[in-house]
């Protein structure tokens, strides 16, 4: 989670919501990392999780190791409970494990508002480990919104 928090800190310059994510391979190596770049890139899909998943899949393609875009032996670690888009991306990438920090009671899709990653009608399910360094992750978001909303 420390690596995901370090990624989240990189959003400050662009004024993006401080969310960070890393994809960890089966050997513990970081395969991909990302932080919110929606404001910086003008891209509504540039969430930390999506960027980390893309980079991990690209790293796998370049290295020739693993099962290509299928991240079926990886863990996604993210500072905030993923939204529906990011949860769907995890399912499609076949990520088996999710670790997240703070819950998102407004848009979370991994157990709070929705539970996309454990939807029985889908072809893949994700094991969820919530609340890792929750207070620290939540405080980072509270500080950001306090500063931006006055």
Tell whether the model's pLDDT for residue 67 goes beyond 80.
no
Which candidate in 7, 49, 127, 143 is catalytic?
49
- pLDDT at residue 70, rounded to an integer: 94
Spatial CA neighbour of 30 closest among 9, 49, 52: 52
- Alpha-carbon gap, residue 87 to 50, rounded angstroms: 9
Virtual CA dihedral for 85, 87, 90, 96, nearest 10 degrees?
180
- pLDDT at residue 18, rounded to an integer: 98
| Range in 60-69, 88-97, 110-119 with the lowest mean pLDDT | 60-69
- Alpha-carbon gap, residue 111 to 116, rounded angstroms: 8
Section 120-129 average pLDDT:
97
Section 91-115 average pLDDT:
98
Section 23-48 average pLDDT:
96
Tell whether the model's pLDDT for residue 35 goes beyond 70.
yes
Tell whether the model's pLDDT for residue 150 goes beyond 70.
no
In which residue are the tokens 């407004």 written?
A: 106
Domain boundaries, the chain: 1-148
- 0.75 surpassed by pTM: yes
**Which CATH superfamily, name and number, covers 1-148?**
Cytidine Deaminase, domain 2 (3.40.140.10)
Strand partners, 110: 115
- Alpha-carbon gap, residue 140 to 24, rounded angstroms: 22
Residue 83 counted as an annotated binding residue: yes
Tell whether the model's pLDDT for residue 63 goes beyond 90.
no
Residue 86 counted as an annotated binding residue: yes
Section 98-116 average pLDDT:
98
To the nearest whole number, what is the mean pLDDT of the chain? 95
The answer to whether 49 is a known catalytic residue is: yes
Tell whether the model's pLDDT for residue 78 goes beyond 90.
yes
- Alpha-carbon gap, residue 49 to 107, rounded angstroms: 14
Tell whether the model's pLDDT for residue 71 goes beyond 80.
yes
DSSP 123: S
More confident residue, 1 or 12: 1
């Amino acid at each position: 989670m420390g690596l995901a928090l370090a990624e989240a800190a990189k959003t400050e310059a662009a004024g993006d919501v401080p969310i960070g994510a890393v994809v960890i391979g089966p050997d513990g190596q970081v395969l991909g990392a990302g932080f919110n770049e929606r404001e910086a890139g003008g891209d509504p899909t540039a969430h930390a999780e999506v960027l980390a998943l893309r980079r991990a899949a690209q790293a796998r393609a370049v290295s020739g190791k693993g099962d290509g875009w299928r991240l079926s032996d990886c863990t996604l670690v993210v500072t905030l409970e993923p939204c529906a888009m990011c949860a769907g991306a995890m399912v499609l990438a076949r990520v088996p494990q999710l670790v997240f920090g703070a819950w998102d009671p407004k848009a979370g899709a991994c157990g709070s508002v929705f539970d996309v990653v454990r939807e029985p009608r889908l072809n893949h399910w994700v094991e969820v480990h919530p609340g890792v360094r929750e207070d620290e992750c939540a405080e980072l978001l509270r500080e950001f919104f306090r500063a931006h909303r006055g």
